[in-house]
Chains A and B, each alone.
Chain A
Amino acid sequence: MAAPRTFSRSQRGPIVTGMLAFVLILVVLQLWLLTATMNAYLGGDDSLVWPAALASVACFLLNAGLLRYLRRMEKTRA
């Protein structure tokens, strides 16, 4: 696997902030998915349950990938 690109501190700041904003948006999306799915489930509609679960997993995988990238970036500094 290729070594991660190194960034200067001034470059890292906006990158980390951008990642944080992206992760935050994904988490809020997951919260919305959970409440919408629960509402549909309690109303007797089971058709949303699996698509919502898969979408939530996709959001989590994106978050985990961003966290992994962030940790690798932190380990290698310019």
Chain B
Amino acid sequence: MATPIPERESISLPPDGRPMRDQPAWRRDFPIDWPLDHDVERRDFVKFLTLTSFAFVVGQFWITGQSWLRGRALPPGAQRIASTNDLQVGGSLVFEYPARHDTCVLVRVAEADYVAFSQKCTHLSCAVIPKPEEGVFHCPCHEGLFDLRTGRVLAGPPPRPLPRIAIEIQGTDIYAVGVETSMI
């Protein structure tokens, strides 16, 4: 037959006879009844870990919500970013797309060949610097290197390629028309 656990005060009697709530903190933390102490400590720890586990679930669903909102967001519209006359071959130009503070860089790699990428390094968001003569974007913070034409990681700690900005040329005007992200 199972028997319920007695209250702690009824089995742990401090030397001065006062109730446990009147005892100093160190004695409350380390009860006299040491078997009870061990059981309670481990149970409390499991409880704490279960609460942590719940917090992780909340975090997962926060990401899920953000992902859902991102899926419903309208694609960014077209935005004129430069004229073909603004850039020499090998030249670059910084612009903001799709929102303010989303800095991107447009590079003219050949007479009729333009590429644009987000300027934020995918490692820790430092601004990457185009080096058309070497065919790379260079992140000076941790020596990350990205391919100038594809945005793929060539060296350093960045985990993902640079997001590519889709561009369209209409006459002499260059428009940014979308953002393409990829994992590889």
Contact = CB atoms under 8 A, between A and B. Distances in A.
A and B held together in a complex:
yes
Interface of A: 3-4, 6, 9, 12-13, 16-17, 19-20, 23-24, 26-27, 30-31, 33-34, 37-46, 49-50, 52-53, 56-57, 59-60, 63-64, 66-67, 70-71, 74-78
Contacts of B182: 44
Contacts, number: 110
Nearest to B1: A6
A24 B48 CA distance: 10
25 contacts: A4-B2, A9-B35, A13-B38, A16-B39, A19-B46, A23-B49, A24-B49, A30-B53, A31-B56, A37-B63, A41-B63, A42-B160, A43-B122, A43-B159, A43-B183, A45-B183, A46-B71, A49-B67, A53-B61, A63-B50, A64-B50, A66-B46, A67-B50, A75-B5, A76-B2
Given A3-B2, A60-B53, A67 B47 contact: yes
Interface residues of B, number: 35
B66 interface: yes
A26 B46 contact: no
Contacts of A74: 5, 39, 43
B60 interface: yes
B159 to A, nearest CB: 7
Interface string B57-88: 10111011011001100000000000000000
Contacts of A16: 39, 42-43, 46
B45 interface: yes
Contacts of A31: 56
B23 interface: no
